[in-house]
Every structure is written in C-alpha cells, then in structure tokens.
Structure 1
Amino acid sequence: MRYIEPHAHMVSRTTDDYEKLALAGCEALCEPAFWAGFDRSSAAGFYDYFRQLTEYEPKRAARFGIKHFCWLCINPKEADDTGFAREVMSLIPEFIQKESVLGIGEIGLNKNTKSELKIFEEHVQIALDYDLPILIHTPHLEDKLKGTKLILDCLASFSGLDRSKVIIDHVEEHTVSHVMDAGYWAGMTLYPESKCTPSRAIDILEVYGTERIWMNSACDWGVSDPLAVPKCALEMRRRRYSAEQIEKVVYQNPLAFLKQSSRFKL
C-alpha cells in the first residue's frame, strides 16, 4: 500500500520512525509548524525551528525515500501574545520561497481567545498575499465546536479566499459537518487517546463519505502513533472497504489537496 502522511510533527520523532513510515508505504510527509513541547522564549527559537523544517528534516526523510514538505506559522499555542507572534511572523518571508514549503499552517485557535483570533486573521492574509494553501488547527482542550465556528466565521470575512485550498484539521463527529458544509477540506487526526481513533474516523467516513477529507497521525510530543494512517487503512480493510476506496482516502485525497501547491511534487 502507498500513502501520504499529510500532517506529522517529525521533529518530535526519532529517525527510526522515518524508517517505519517508509516500510509501511509512506511516499511523502508534510510537517506543519507547531509547538516544541514547551513555549519558546524568543523569535530566534522559531528561526532555528524554521531552518530545521526546511533544511534538516527533508534530509532525514530522504534517507528512506520519503519526500518531506512543511508549512510555516506561529502555532496557536504560542500566539496569544500578539507582539511575540508578529515578531515570529516577520520571519516567514525569509523562508516562504524554500522549495519544500507548501503554505501557512497549522494556524487556528487553542484557547479561543481574541488575541489568537487576531493572529489567525493575519496568518490568513499572509497566505492570500502569497497565494498559498492553508492548514488549520482546531482546539482540543477548549470547546472545539465553539473554536471551529469562530474559525469559520473569520474565514467567511475574506472575500478572496479559495475554500478548496483550505483544510480544517482535527475534526470530530460534532464539527465535521460544519467544515464540509462550508466547502472546506476536513482532516481527521488519529490519536490513541484523544481526537479520533481509527474506528471513529471510519464511522465518520461512513456518514459523510470520502470527498474532501483526509487522515493523519500528527505524531507529536503527546501519546501518538506515526503509523496511525496505515493502521487505520488496515481497519478499513477489515470493514470490507475496497483497495480503491482505501487508496482514495490515504493517498489520492491528500494528493489532490496538496498538489494545489506547485511545490508538492513526488
């Protein structure tokens, strides 16, 4: 089986995990900018992090034949201080033309604050200025439905936004319809203890279909599994999904979204 891992935080994983992904059939991997497991004390930390995403991780992935791409932003967990956030965002133009950078993400909300929402709006404007796709994070610990609705209301205020170039990630049963009915792509994050388990994700597919939706592992600093996507594909097989249906969800769908960036080439 071949698949694309469209959302994985590999800076939190060992090199052995790249080998496991390759053995499972991963052809390409996309790494959104996110939290470092702790709050960074200066924008200089983000400068080195952006270098890590654009220079070092592609080399680690290439050792095992995996293409590594990334997204840039200051993540919602560290965006509540608008002054600090804007200092970090000022670094993005220096990196935005790197050949592995796909777009802006993962931006969004963490605690659903006004400051987070303001920085979210400014990130969206950067994406529009550079005509880039957007990857959006919805909150976990706070009210996900409220955060999702705030994000959707904010996006609706941008008249030039192409909704087909926006994916709203970490959807669950109570938010997926809001995202898809508004014309955006939806991402399901497969976690063993939170977000969507494979069984829950497949239940969502059975209700909402397989258009404009993908699966990802995130595999960040928390309890997570870099092989969550192929394991979910195995569960789909147990539920009598055909090979073509499985490939659509784990390969063709992320390919269709990601190739909207001219830099996504396999």
Structure 2
Amino acid sequence: MRYIEPHAHMVSRVTDDYERLVMAGCRAVCEPAFWAGFDRSSPQGFYDYFKQLTEYEPRRAAKYHLPHYCWLCINPKEAEDPGFAREVMQLIPEFLAAENVLGIGEIGLNKNTRNELAILEEHIDLAVQHEQLILVHTPHLEDKLKGTRLILSALQNNPRIRPECVIIDHVEEHTVREVLDAGFWAGITLYPISKCTPERAADILEIHGRERLWANSACDWGPSDPLAVPRLALELRARGFSEQDLDDFLFANPCRFLRQCEKFRVES
C-alpha cells in the first residue's frame, strides 16, 4: 500500500516515527504549523519554529527518503492576542519561497472567539495575496459545528477564495456534508480521543463517498498515532474496499489537492 500523510506534527514525534511511516508505505508527510505544547512568548520563537519546519524537519525525514512538506501560520490556539498574532504573521512571507512550503495552515478557530475570527480572516487574506493553498483547523467537540459554520462564512465572504484550494480539516459526521456542499475539500482526522476513530471514518466514506476527502493522523503532543492512516486502511479492507479504492482515497486524493502547489512532487 502507498499513502500520503497529509497532516502530521512531526516536530512532536521521535525520529523512529519517520522510519515507521516509510515502512508502512508513506510516500510524503505534510506538517502544518501548530501549537508547541505550550504558548510561545515571542515572535522570535515562531521564527525559530518556521526555520525548524522549513529546514530541520525536511533533513530529518530525508534520512528515510521521505519528502517532508509544511504549512505556515500562527495556530488559532495562540491567536487570542491579535497584536502578537500579527507580529508572527509578518514573519510568514519570508518563508513562503522555501521549497517545502505548501501554503497557509493550519488556520481556523479554537474557541470561536472574536479575536480568533479576526486572525482567521487576516490569514485568509494573506493566503490570497500570495496565492497559497489553505488548510483549516475546526474546533473540537461541542464547538465544532458552530466553528465550522463561522469558518465557511469567513471563506465565502472573501471573493478571491477558490474553494478547490482550501481543505477544512477535522470534519466529523455532523460537519462533513456542509463542507463538501460548499465546494471545499474535507479532511478526516483519525484521533483516539476527540476526533474520528477508523470505524467512524469508514462510516463517513460509506455514506458520503471519497470525492474531495482525505484522511490524516494529525499526530502531535497528545495521545495520537502516526500510523492511524494505515489502521484506517485495515478497517476499509475489512469492509470490502478494494486495493484500488484504498489507493484512490489514501494516495491519489491527497495528491490531487496538494499538486495544486507546484512544489509538491511525489513519485507515483
């Protein structure tokens, strides 16, 4: 089996996880900017983090012949202070030319606050100005539906947004249809606690089909599994999905979206 891991926070993982990904059939890993496990105290901390995403992590992955790509932003979890967030955002254009940067992300909402929404809208403007793909984080648990609708509204209110260039991640049973009906891509995150299990993800695929959907592990600092996507493949096989179905969903679909960025190059 071959697959793309389109959303994994590898800075929080040990080097052995890169080896495990490759052994499981991973052909590329994509890392959105995220919370560091603690709130950073200065823009310089983000500058160093962006250097880590664009320089150090690609070298760590290359030891296992695994292409590493990334996204840049200030995550919504740290966007409650707009002044601080704007200082960080001013750093981003310097890094957009890096050979492994795919776009702006993971932007979005955490607690659905007014400040988070303002920074989301400014991130969207930044992405549009620089013609970047966008990856969006939706809130957890009971705030997810409200947050998803706020995000959809913010995107649709920007007349320069092309829905096919935006993926809205962490969809669940009650949000996936609204995202797809609005013309955006949707990401199913496989997480042991707050998002989808492989069984729930398989249910979503059986109900909604595979068009404009991908699956990812979003493995990070908390309880998570960098091999969640191969575990989903096991569940799909048990339900009668063919190897071609798996290849279309787990490899071809992420490639269709990510190849809209000319930097994304993965051998078939």
TM-score by length of 1: 0.99
Q: CA deviation at 1:194?
A: 2.1
Q: Say whether residues 1:172 and 2:142 are aligned partners.
A: no
Give the 5 Å matches for 1:231-246.
Answer: 231-246=231-246
**Amino acid in the other structure paired with 1:210:** R
**Amino acid in the other structure paired with 1:4:** I
Q: Secondary structure at the match of 1:40?
A: coil
Q: Secondary structure at the match of 2:70?
A: strand
Q: Say whether residues 1:115 and 2:122 are aligned partners.
A: no
Residue 189 of structure 2 corresponds to 189
Residue 228 of structure 1 corresponds to 228
TM-score by length of 2: 0.98
Q: CA RMSD in A?
A: 0.7
Write the distance in 2 (CA, Å) between the matches of 1:110 and 1:185.
20
8 Å contact kept, 2:104–2:135: yes
Q: Say whether residues 1:260 and 2:260 are aligned partners.
A: yes
Give the 5 Å matches for 1:17-28.
Answer: 17-28=17-28
8 Å contact kept, 2:141–2:194: no
Q: CA deviation at 1:234?
A: 1.2
8 Å contact kept, 1:111–1:142: no
Q: CA deviation at 1:141?
A: 4.8
Give the 5 Å matches for 1:38-187.
Answer: 38-141=38-141, 143-187=143-187
Write the distance in 2 (CA, Å) between the matches of 1:260 and 1:57.
22
Write the distance in 2 (CA, Å) between the matches of 1:81 and 1:167.
25
**Amino acid in the other structure paired with 2:101:** V
User: Structure 1 stretches of 5 or more lacking a match?
Assistant: none
Give the 5 Å matches for 1:203-218.
Answer: 203-218=203-218
Q: CA deviation at 1:65?
A: 1.2
Off by >2 Å, runs of 4+ in structure 1: none
- C-alpha distance after superposition, 1:125-146 (max 9, x if no partner): 1110111110000001551000
Write the distance in 2 (CA, Å) between the matches of 1:117 and 1:94.
24
**Amino acid in the other structure paired with 2:254:** P
**Amino acid in the other structure paired with 1:203:** D
Write the distance in 2 (CA, Å) between the matches of 1:193 and 1:79.
24
**Amino acid in the other structure paired with 1:47:** Y
**Amino acid in the other structure paired with 1:23:** M
- C-alpha distance after superposition, 1:229-254 (max 9, x if no partner): 01101111111100010111110000
Write the distance in 1 (CA, Å) between the matches of 2:174 and 2:241.
24
Write the distance in 2 (CA, Å) between the matches of 1:247 and 1:199.
18
User: Structure 2 stretches of 5 or more lacking a match?
Assistant: none
8 Å contact kept, 1:32–1:72: yes
Q: Secondary structure at the match of 1:143?
A: helix
**Amino acid in the other structure paired with 1:224:** S
Identity across the alignment (%): 67
